[in-house]
Structure 1
Amino acid sequence: MLNKASPMTSSPATSYIASVDLMRGLVIVLMALDHVRGFFTEADFSATDLSRTDWALFLTRWITHLCAPTFVFLAGTSAFLSAARGMDRRQLASRLFTRGLWLVILEVTVVRFSWYFNLDYSQMSLQVIWALGWSMVVLSALSYLPLWAIASVGAVMIFGHNLLDGLDGIWLEEFQTAEGRLEWQGWLLSVLHIPHYPVIYPLIPWIGVMAAGYAFGPVMQWPLTARRKTALGCGILLIAAFVILRVYNGYGDPAPWSRQDTILFTLLSFVNTTKYPPSLLYLLMTLGLMFILLSAFEQAYGAQRAIGRFFITFGRVPLFFYLLHLYVIHGLALIIAYGMSGDIYSSSSQFPSWWGFGLPIVYLIWIGVVMLLYPVCTWFSAVKSRHKGRPWTPYI
């Protein structure tokens, strides 16, 4: 018997919800800022290292923390809404499984090459597309469960995975050879929870975020006012939980905050949570902000304004933008480096020590990249609309 809250028994006429694409568009543009910063900044240290950074560089990095949790959460929500538009459970599971594997393939081929511009597979970073892909594969199996069970899986992974923090180092050391190589048990732990090269995005927390997003799907079928208030309530609740847990420096993040020389830097320390893997506090902070923004974007006029339509354009083709913008940013960095030095660099890893620019130039390059790709994304969005329902459209 189908669960009453499953998409297969929900309203079959779920209409297009512009706020989801608007939210996706905003974070994909912010992600471009983070990648431009990574390729063009003059800072040779972590932007969140409070002993070396300044407030502007910190916040430039911090605001982009919103990106990955939003992508993964809304991918789960979009999966539910897709099913609610007439897809049965088997079709949904098949779509999630094949699209997830496709994303993993893209990560280790097209995405990897965009970062390194070489075929040396000793250089590899398994990041957000990898996590999205495998989370979809897992969700393809979870989708056969009742909605309450999927929500429970998501909650346990999000709220419980930091219980492993104290054991991670012990386990990883136990499963390393004398030469420092990981045995298969160590690789499995790395894939699931412990960041270790090349796995930058361990899967357990991200699977939980996607499952939570799927469980949130029915809310997005409610009338506009109801879902706007619910999203706002969820955002306030998550932010409040973040503040309470963070104040006491107890459970939820392996890196406690501390008093700094100034009030501003103390506040920066307070919000400087752990991304790899995403801690409970990191997810409460970022998903709380996502819910608040989503509530604001639910206003009837939001998608009708020019700025709303601008971000929606990117939100309709996020994977296309993601794949393209990495090549544009990396290629632009090599071109500018050649123009400044006359030397040809095969990738950014070969840039000289003098390479890099201050934040004003970084922001100008970011705006230039986004504006350059806007007409391309507008064109591709129109292509997808004309070919809606074709087998290839969900995969790019």
Structure 2
Amino acid sequence: MSTAGISQRIRSIDTVRGAIMVIMALDHVRDYFHITAFTADPLDPQTTTAALFFTRWITHFCAPSFLLLSGISAYLSGQNKSTSESSAFLIKRGFWLIIVEITFMTFAFSFDITFKTTFLAVLWSLGCSMLLLGLLIRFFSPKTILIIGMVILFGHNLLDYIKLTPNSALDIFLGILMTGGARFYPRGDGGMLAFMYVILPWAGHMLVGYGLGTLYKSSFPKAKRQKILILAGLAAVVLFVGLRFANGYGDPVHWSGQKTGARTFLSFLNVTKYPPSLLFTLITQGPLLILLAFTENSSNRIARILTVYGRVPFFYFLGHFYLIHTLTMIAVLSSGYTWQQATAPDLFFKFRPADFGYELGYVYLVWIAVVGLMYFPCKWFGELKARKRSPWLSYL
């Protein structure tokens, strides 16, 4: 197959990844700008509104999809490298992402110069996943790595049935590795380590993505690839519906009847992200696989715009967080809060008082502004990467 065909397939991945990055920014803007972001659960079917619920729920697609697409990209980038070169690159990049999480991203979250809390979130999970993948590709084939990833995704909820002594050594170990979500542990210097994302359930998405990367080999028939993606995606959605109706295995939180049918539907969709349950994975990754199949030949204006973001995900991710938090700081100080109030010691995020915020409509306006402001920097950086081809740029 021609190089143009290979580039087309990679563009389709960048287009879908760009859409994910754009949607992701909505949740981060909501965290900083919505009036109830720190005081209410947007996914609580008893108290939320449909608009608020789906504003949060749609962003469930972002983290697992980003990891799965990163796995596909890791396979594709390794086609021109030896196994040892691919492994070394993934391991180095994994460590780099963890360092960035501890430093640049922790500050982006908090704007706290004392680094009282170290946040281990998306880049932490991505970095750990790359470390694991970098080791596995030295010993296993892509097919075996796919199977390992599937076993993790389908089997980790078995640990829901194991009850451990809270804060025991095993509870802490499994909490960080498999079962935890938003757990805080003392650092030893008076600060805290916030493990927002566990390791293995998220890594499972990247391992599956790496295995799926074989579908994008130049020798693989396009029609067959699209058929596999569509069938796998439909199977995932059907399995989600069946398991969710059964209200048994696959998610630690069961759905329940509410005072209205609409709220019962919200309860049915309200699956667990921290850590990502099997049902969370099925309802997010099933539609993603279908979307990958249908966007492979997309070259319209929207696809081209989304590709600008999808080609530079790390640059966009880091940049949009600093932009959102800076806009929050400006809005808070412009709203009459004093510097002391905006930087109070008890604030989880500086310049984000719990009683600050706007209604949902304004959140969407800020989101559109953030995505728009990031377009030209992302376009410039994407063109720079394409033009320079410097090894250090591959880490950005």
TM-score (norm 2): 0.90
Residue of structure 2 equivalent to 1:208: 204
Percent identity (aligned): 40
Q: Deviations over 1:125-161 (max 9, x none)?
A: 2111100000000001111212232122111100000
**In structure 1, C-alpha distance between the alignment counterparts of 2:315 and 2:294, rounded to whole Å:** 26
Residue of structure 1 equivalent to 2:306: 311
- Map 1:225-264 to 2 at 5 A: 225-264=223-262
2:354 pairs with 1:363: no
Residue of structure 1 equivalent to 2:187: none
Q: Deviations over 1:229-251 (max 9, x none)?
A: 22111110100111111110011
Q: Which amino acid aligns with 2:250?
A: G
**In structure 1, C-alpha distance between the alignment counterparts of 2:315 and 2:53, rounded to whole Å:** 28
Alignment partner for residue 137 of structure 1, among 121, 131, 149?
Answer: 131
Q: Is the 8 A contact 1:14 1:81 kept in 2?
A: no
Give me the CA root mean square deviation.
1.8
**In structure 1, C-alpha distance between the alignment counterparts of 2:114 and 2:156, rounded to whole Å:** 34
Alignment partner for residue 6 of structure 2, among 15, 29, 38?
Answer: 15
- Map 1:41-56 to 2 at 5 A: 41-43=34-36, 44-56=39-51
Tell me the matched-pair count. Answer: 372
Residue of structure 2 equivalent to 1:180: none
**In structure 1, C-alpha distance between the alignment counterparts of 2:216 and 2:86, rounded to whole Å:** 18
Deviation at 1:223, TM superposition (A): 3.2
Deviation at 1:226, TM superposition (A): 2.4
Residue of structure 2 equivalent to 1:381: 382
2:57 pairs with 1:89: no
**In structure 2, C-alpha distance between the alignment counterparts of 1:103 and 1:223, rounded to whole Å:** 34
Deviation at 1:353, TM superposition (A): 4.8
Q: Which amino acid aligns with 1:137?
A: L
**In structure 1, C-alpha distance between the alignment counterparts of 2:336 and 2:115, rounded to whole Å:** 28
**In structure 2, C-alpha distance between the alignment counterparts of 1:316 and 1:171, rounded to whole Å:** 43
Deviation at 1:172, TM superposition (A): 4.8
Distance 1:174 1:335, change over 3 A: closer
SS of structure 2 residue aligned to 1:124? strand
Deviation at 1:48, TM superposition (A): 0.5
Q: Is the 8 A contact 1:172 1:189 kept in 2?
A: no
2:104 pairs with 1:110: yes
Residue of structure 1 equivalent to 2:188: none
SS of structure 1 residue aligned to 2:102? helix
**In structure 1, C-alpha distance between the alignment counterparts of 2:226 and 2:302, rounded to whole Å:** 20
**In structure 1, C-alpha distance between the alignment counterparts of 2:146 and 2:25, rounded to whole Å:** 31
Q: Deviations over 1:197-242 (max 9, x none)?
A: 2111111111211111100011122333322222111110100111
Q: Is the 8 A contact 1:220 1:227 kept in 2?
A: yes
Q: Is the 8 A contact 2:46 2:258 kept in 1?
A: no
Residue of structure 2 equivalent to 1:191: 176
**In structure 2, C-alpha distance between the alignment counterparts of 1:289 and 1:111, rounded to whole Å:** 29
**In structure 1, C-alpha distance between the alignment counterparts of 2:14 and 2:98, rounded to whole Å:** 23
Q: Is the 8 A contact 2:27 2:55 kept in 1?
A: yes
2:120 pairs with 1:126: yes
Alignment partner for residue 32 of structure 2, among 21, 39, 61?
Answer: 39
Q: Which amino acid aligns with 1:262?
A: T
Unpaired runs of at least 5, structure 1 = 1-9, 176-182
TM-score (norm 1): 0.90
Q: Is the 8 A contact 2:46 2:263 kept in 1?
A: no
**In structure 1, C-alpha distance between the alignment counterparts of 2:195 and 2:222, rounded to whole Å:** 40
Q: Deviations over 1:255-303 (max 9, x none)?
A: 01111222221111111000000000000110001112112212x2x1x
Unpaired runs of at least 5, structure 2 = 185-193
**In structure 2, C-alpha distance between the alignment counterparts of 1:352 and 1:118, rounded to whole Å:** 14
Q: Which amino acid aligns with 1:277?
A: P
